[in-house]
Structure 1
Amino acid sequence: SRDNQKEAISIPIGIIPAGSDNSLVWTVLGVRDPISAAIAVVKGGLTATDVFAVEWIQSGLIHFGMTVSYFGFVSDVLELSENYQKRFGPLRYFVAGFLKFLCLPKYNFEVEYLPVATGAPEDGKTLADH
């Protein structure tokens, strides 16, 4: 548990899509392209959503995520598939998965989390307001 949990969960974050799957920005802002998302962020479009952070122990880098987190094999396949995007199109995931399966690495991790506050947030209020 963190000392500044209420502060941490009330920080607004702007989302500008830049990937091949922009489901998060569609869910939060109702737009799919970077320009419309930037306009919505500037206008102050806010929607409460869960956020998580992953700190990589070896490098100290912190990555933030919102809809889904991929770790291990799936993450490696998605990263490797970017190398084959132009050559194989949608089949790049199969190709990357097959290649990654041929040399499976070992994955180690630790999980820490903030407990969920009891009760659901009301319209227009964040959990920090409770």
Structure 2
Amino acid sequence: MDYIEKARFRAKRRKSAWNLLLLPAIITSLCALWVGSYKVLNTLHSTVHPGQNFGITGKGLGAVLAAVTPFFGALPVAMIIGNFLVWLIPPARKALDEEAKPFPSTSFINAQKQLLKLAYVLVPVSLALGILGALMPWYS
């Protein structure tokens, strides 16, 4: 069974309307993390290169690295936060736990562990690339 078939199989078993809460919880967390980390990188850049910021001189490789790479680091963290926020709702937790019973590898704890493993790789790499981009000059 390839990845697409597995994804379709997982999607078919999700019957609860509580699954719909995951999307806004993750998207809201992602936006907050992405924008927050970008603002920190933009502040770092403005400190190193006075007079430059994304609104004025936001062109070049440095600006792209500082703007884009935080998204990839924020993604697994936003998924962890989104899962946790939905898990805090007792009826949602019960419904989602029932859906996961036949598939132990998809339980809340296992999903969070897998996302943490992904975050351990993506967050440092995206942070390093974002800092590199913030330290580079941005040209208009």
Q: Which structure exhibits the higher relative contact order, with contacts defined as CA atoms closer than 8 Å and separated by 6 or more residues?
A: 2
Indicate the structure with greater helix content.
Answer: 2
TM-score, normalised via structure 2 length: 0.28
Indicate the structure with greater strand content.
Answer: 1
